[in-house]
Structure 1
Amino acid sequence: MKALIVDDEARVRKAVRLLVDWDAHQIDEILEAGNGNEAIEIIRQVKPALVIMDMMMESGNGVELMTWVNEFAGNIKFIVVSGHNDFEFVRQTVRHGGIDYILKPIEAEAINVAIAKAVAAWRSEDADRSERQKQSIQLNEFKPIYGEKLLSALIDDPINSELSLRRLRSDGIIPENVHSSRLILVQTDTGNSLLLKRFGGDTGLMNYAIVNICNEFLQGQHKGVSFRYWGGPSEIAIILWDIQTSVAELIGRINHGIYATLQVRMHFGISCIGSLPKQLPYQRAEVAEALQRRNLLIHEDYCHYSTSSEEFKERNETTKTEIHGNVTPTIFAHVKEDWKMAVISGSPDVLSSAAQHWVDELSRSGIVTPEILNSWKNDALLFRSQLVRETLGPDADSALAELEQADQLHPAPYTNGYSFSLFAWRDWSFDLMERMSEVIAAKQAKESNPMHDIVKYIELNYASDLSLQEIAGKFFVSREYISRRFKQEYGINFSDFIVNIRIDKAKLLMQNPRLKLSQISEMVGFHDVKYFSKVFKKQVGASPKDYRNQFKI
């Protein structure tokens, strides 16, 4: 079992290490973090069972860390060790499921009792989770694959939807007396590597488990049916025909079942009530829009209604001031100049400040949706393209290709996932600007190097009688400078560099059997074919004739 100690004071972390009897609690790995942000990264990587944390830290305070743990790593148990006897801190600890709140200075007995309690709770819940997951995966699929296809066809194939409905009724999947329904989409997160890992990376198996959990709450009470929707990327749909039931309460129970088994909660897009199957295609568009416009800053809201639904209007009325007040729309232009100055400066501090300004601006209105994130991400990439073209001109295409290749290794956070984090988007924007700054600086340095232009000139004029004096005069540098730089950058002198280019060109021309050696010699800048043959053999290790013979059939 692993434990993580989070405190910005090293002496406090050391004290916790000394006071706790780790062996007695069967904790064999103790990790440390100096702030909340660092703790989040460690939790993502090593998944400790227990976190012992301070409340007041300079970067990523305790409340933020508890909120993140509760949302994205809810199976972790945590204990707060604080020097502040603040009721609000205690209340937040209890609200987020903390095991205990211990005041400094720390007493050995108190912290060991708290850890024993936390370890026992974690072990008990872990055993329950394993059993539930085993049972869930062992459940038989409610109908063969053709059932999923027929249910999906109700949404995607309006022409044949009545025929599909009759088949589903005859198979007993949809009752005969059902004529109205809601459509609900369960938004799964393909970017959640930890969840996928539990299913061996098999998305289909993960979706199968989620469908089974949903159907436990639907089919037993004849409320509806859940199925893998074939018309969307990794989507699970629910056709809910019990329109009298409280959809929020039902989804709450389903989500509790998903969390008990998989330790994640999922988001649900909910349509208005409509006729079955006629309204299903429109309901599909409604729920997709509802999910795209859900507020990612409100972590504990998992029901997202169509804007035309009564539930949405009711909610909107109660949150009208908060959500639809006089808030200036957040647009990328607000940070564009900051980003440009940061990229040009290349300073890590300036880049970090610009990245932080981005997430501050993004969350300023209190609303961040997947739709907004997609728009901002596209604007950021458009800004990158424009700035690279503006600063590098003809070299922009190669620079952009290099940056786009790096995007494959450092993709943007998944906009439609349920593990939303402003920290992740801040880090992505910092990395995006930093890579842009490095590529632009490298290209500009290469362009500002006179040797780059000299080499280009030689490659275009190798057939001429080039001299060191001529090149020096043309590029306003000394002969000594050119000689020294050729030795430094290419390891050979100026004249050998020209000879190498001429011989390389000659080797290409020799593949044309209609060209005589005397012609090739003249074309590459040698006016004496015998001297050309001598130099060629010295460079290549074979005479021009022998070299050319290898291309004969």
Structure 2
Amino acid sequence: MRALIVDDEARVRKAVRLLVDWEEHGIQEVAEAGSGNEAIELIRHNKPELVITDMLMDAGNGLELMTWISEFAESVKFIVVSGHNDFELVRSTVRHGGIDYILKPIDAEAINAAVAKAVADWRAEERERVDQRQQNIRLNEIRPVYGEKLLSSLINDSNTAESSLRRLRADGVIPELTDTVRLLLLQVDADDGPLLQRFGKNSDLLHFSIINICNEFLPPHRRGIAFKYWGASDEIILLLWSGHEAVAELIERVNQGLFHTLQRRMHFGVAAAGALPQSLPGQYAEAGLAIRRRNLLRGDNYLHTLLTESQDAGRVGDVSRLRFADVQEDWKIAVLSGGNEQRIAAAAQKWIDGLSHGGIVTPEMLDQWRSDTLSFRERLLRETLGDDAGTVLTALLQEDQQHRAPNTNAYSFSLFAWRDWAVDLMNRMSRAISERQAKEKYVIGDIIKYIDQHYTSELSLQEIASRFFVSREYISRKFKQEFGINFSDYLSKYRIEKAKLLMLNPNLKISQIAEMVGIHDVKYFSKVFKKLEGVSPKEYRHKLPS
């Protein structure tokens, strides 16, 4: 703690310095002033907690000093040491909050008791001040969140909108007489890595900065408020209750502020003004749709309304819009080309050329394209891989986390980025299909080898499926695809071909040949043989050259 002794007599100041046990009271610094005016300057700069002052001095008396302290340094405790036993002076001391009024000559016990009480009072009050500051800090931390929730509920909770509005008006957030409002929606680019890096990858801190910049342009005339919308993680809402007609100018000024601070300009969806709070859910939907329908090929436009976006679309309405169906066959041929990079690149470029030729590309269109391409991928996988498509699709979906499509809410737009995404998507599809088909051919090849080595034994579809860890349906489908017949017919044909070779030996009976090729019923053997060759085994043998 610090103390200040104020007296126009140096010997009195020295006496006070010697009589008070400063260390016992926890006071480390003691300064001196020869007048009230000098004391005021020292209090301003040194900020002592305790002042011991004379009452009557030439340059600024004790009464003036006490008056100044009670007005400008109210936490300072003071003790009066005076040679005048005057009731009015004592009363003034008490009225201004003085701890004690001590008469000269100074008694050591009396002044130390007064200093002890002053120090104790100051410390008790300081604890209260600290507690209050901490409480204020907590309230300041809670208040924005509380306000954001109330403001957000005006949009996303019609049941509590009216009560939230009453609270916001009571807190002075929204003016009492405001009954009309206009909503502006700002979407933050969640994938802007360089900008997030500047904020320690803390998106809340980034949003806080953007909101502060927006609010800098609203308070002068209490035009509105910007806040983080709790209904979506990357959206900031601006509510305007005055100056609706100057929204374009406001957005321009906000973007200048954003660019000056963050080197970014951002897109705003703007709804038509309406009644507060009833119109806000509809305004939010309208502003969001305007953002989704903004023309990405016009990167210099940052204000978007449904009216302006529809006008923009109308200007290119006579141009045929490219649909995914228009390029689907090219994509399919490219994917099934076995990894032909040139064909895949050409298919992706044809899509991009078609998009740019239309004159308008919107986030809504790109989202639909992304959905269409993923549906196309699933259909093609099921068409080419059948039951195995699910396993391959799961693996590709996991890869998608590392190969995401460009963010349609990004501050900038690049057709080349979307072309590269399409190339990567088709390459990964092509590779996955080729690898799976190669693996399937390997399995079928092993099954054929196994049949070649064990056709003389009892073979069944279930046995083959169990041995090669595949389903019976898989084997049947693959045999049909590869040979045009099912497994049973393939095995029967294979055995009959072997039997035909054995028939060249005249010493082998038909029954022996049937056994040797794995058919233990000679009648059944004859039936199968005639079905495949058109004649019985005996007739076939008679036709053989002697």
How far residue 360 of structure 1 moved from its aligned partner, in angstroms, is: 1.3
Q: Are positions 1:344 and 2:350 aligned together?
A: no
Match of 2:387 among 386, 394, 403: 394
How far residue 285 of structure 1 moved from its aligned partner, in angstroms, is: 0.9
How far residue 458 of structure 1 moved from its aligned partner, in angstroms, is: 5.1
- Whole-angstrom distance in 2 between the partners of 1:412 and 1:423: 12
Change in 2 beyond 3 A, CA 1:413/1:316? closer
Give the secondary-structure state (helix, strand or coil) at the position aligned to 2:336.
helix
- Whole-angstrom distance in 1 between the partners of 2:261 and 2:142: 19
| Letter in structure 2 aligned against 1:204 | D
Partner deviation per Cα, 1:286-338 (whole Å, 9 max, x = no partner): 1111111111111000001133xxxx3xx866x576333x1212210111011
Q: Are positions 1:327 and 2:333 aligned together?
A: no
- Whole-angstrom distance in 1 between the partners of 2:335 and 2:418: 17
Partner deviation per Cα, 1:234-269 (whole Å, 9 max, x = no partner): 110000111444111100000111111111111000
- Whole-angstrom distance in 2 between the partners of 1:273 and 1:397: 49
- Whole-angstrom distance in 2 between the partners of 1:296 and 1:189: 14
Contact 2:299 2:412 in 1 (8 A): no
How far residue 409 of structure 1 moved from its aligned partner, in angstroms, is: 1.3
Match of 1:447 among 424, 440, 445: 440
Give the secondary-structure state (helix, strand or coil) at the position aligned to 1:351.
helix
- Whole-angstrom distance in 2 between the partners of 1:300 and 1:194: 21
Which residue matches 1:189?
A: 189
Which residue matches 2:238?
A: 238
| Letter in structure 2 aligned against 1:340 | K
Which residue matches 2:250?
A: 250
- Whole-angstrom distance in 1 between the partners of 2:375 and 2:225: 43
Which residue matches 2:501?
A: none
Contact 1:188 1:234 in 2 (8 A): yes
Which residue matches 2:417?
A: 424
Contact 1:446 1:452 in 2 (8 A): no
- Whole-angstrom distance in 2 between the partners of 1:227 and 1:330: 39
Which residue matches 1:170?
A: 170
For 1:254-333, list aligned pairs within 5 A: 254-307=254-307, 312=308, 322-324=315-317, 326-333=318-325
Partner deviation per Cα, 1:156-214 (whole Å, 9 max, x = no partner): 12222121111111111111121101000111110111111111111111111100000
How far residue 362 of structure 1 moved from its aligned partner, in angstroms, is: 1.9
Give the secondary-structure state (helix, strand or coil) at the position aligned to 2:228.
strand
Give the secondary-structure state (helix, strand or coil) at the position aligned to 1:158.
coil
Higher Cα Rg: structure 1 or 2? Answer: 2
Which residue matches 1:14?
A: none
For 1:467-486, list aligned pairs within 5 A: none
For 1:59-70, list aligned pairs within 5 A: none
Give the secondary-structure state (helix, strand or coil) at the position aligned to 2:326.
helix
In the superposition, the TM-score normalised over structure 1's length comes to 0.55
Match of 1:377 among 370, 375, 395: 370
Which residue matches 2:408?
A: 415
| Letter in structure 2 aligned against 1:328 | S
Which residue matches 1:44?
A: none
Contact 1:141 1:212 in 2 (8 A): no
Partner deviation per Cα, 1:390-448 (whole Å, 9 max, x = no partner): 11112211111121111111111112222321111101100000011011111111222
Change in 2 beyond 3 A, CA 1:410/1:276? same
Partner deviation per Cα, 1:351-404 (whole Å, 9 max, x = no partner): 111111111122221111111001000100111111111111122111111211
In the superposition, the TM-score normalised over structure 2's length comes to 0.56
Contact 1:270 1:290 in 2 (8 A): yes
**% of aligned pairs identical?**
49
Contact 1:339 1:351 in 2 (8 A): yes
How far residue 473 of structure 1 moved from its aligned partner, in angstroms, is: 8.2
How far residue 141 of structure 1 moved from its aligned partner, in angstroms, is: 7.9
- Whole-angstrom distance in 2 between the partners of 1:457 and 1:350: 43
How far residue 143 of structure 1 moved from its aligned partner, in angstroms, is: 4.7
Which residue matches 2:50?
A: none
List runs of 5+ in structure 1 lacking aligned partners: 1-139, 463-471, 478-553
Give the secondary-structure state (helix, strand or coil) at the position aligned to 2:416.
helix
- Whole-angstrom distance in 1 between the partners of 2:393 and 2:446: 20
Contact 1:272 1:306 in 2 (8 A): no
| Letter in structure 2 aligned against 1:220 | P
Contact 2:244 2:273 in 1 (8 A): no
Give the secondary-structure state (helix, strand or coil) at the position aligned to 1:327.
coil
Match of 1:404 among 397, 401, 420: 397
Give the secondary-structure state (helix, strand or coil) at the position aligned to 2:227.
strand
- Whole-angstrom distance in 2 between the partners of 1:266 and 1:461: 61
Change in 2 beyond 3 A, CA 1:426/1:176? same
- Whole-angstrom distance in 1 between the partners of 2:395 and 2:348: 22
- Whole-angstrom distance in 1 between the partners of 2:421 and 2:147: 41
- Whole-angstrom distance in 2 between the partners of 1:461 and 1:234: 54
- Whole-angstrom distance in 1 between the partners of 2:386 and 2:313: 49
List runs of 5+ in structure 2 lacking aligned partners: 1-139, 451-461, 469-489, 496-546
Give the secondary-structure state (helix, strand or coil) at the position aligned to 2:220.
coil
Which residue matches 2:466?
A: 460
Which residue matches 1:523?
A: none
Change in 2 beyond 3 A, CA 1:403/1:474? farther
Which residue matches 1:217?
A: 217
Which residue matches 2:201?
A: 201
| Letter in structure 2 aligned against 1:242 | S
Give the secondary-structure state (helix, strand or coil) at the position aligned to 1:269.
strand
How far residue 453 of structure 1 moved from its aligned partner, in angstroms, is: 3.0
- Whole-angstrom distance in 1 between the partners of 2:494 and 2:169: 87
Aligned length: 323
Give the secondary-structure state (helix, strand or coil) at the position aligned to 2:159.
helix
Q: Are positions 1:353 and 2:346 aligned together?
A: yes
- Whole-angstrom distance in 1 between the partners of 2:446 and 2:242: 73
| Letter in structure 2 aligned against 1:341 | I
For 1:83-98, list aligned pairs within 5 A: none
Partner deviation per Cα, 1:448-474 (whole Å, 9 max, x = no partner): 234443579656369xxxxxxxxx988
- Whole-angstrom distance in 1 between the partners of 2:184 and 2:154: 14
Q: CA RMSD in A?
A: 2.6
Which residue matches 2:154?
A: 154
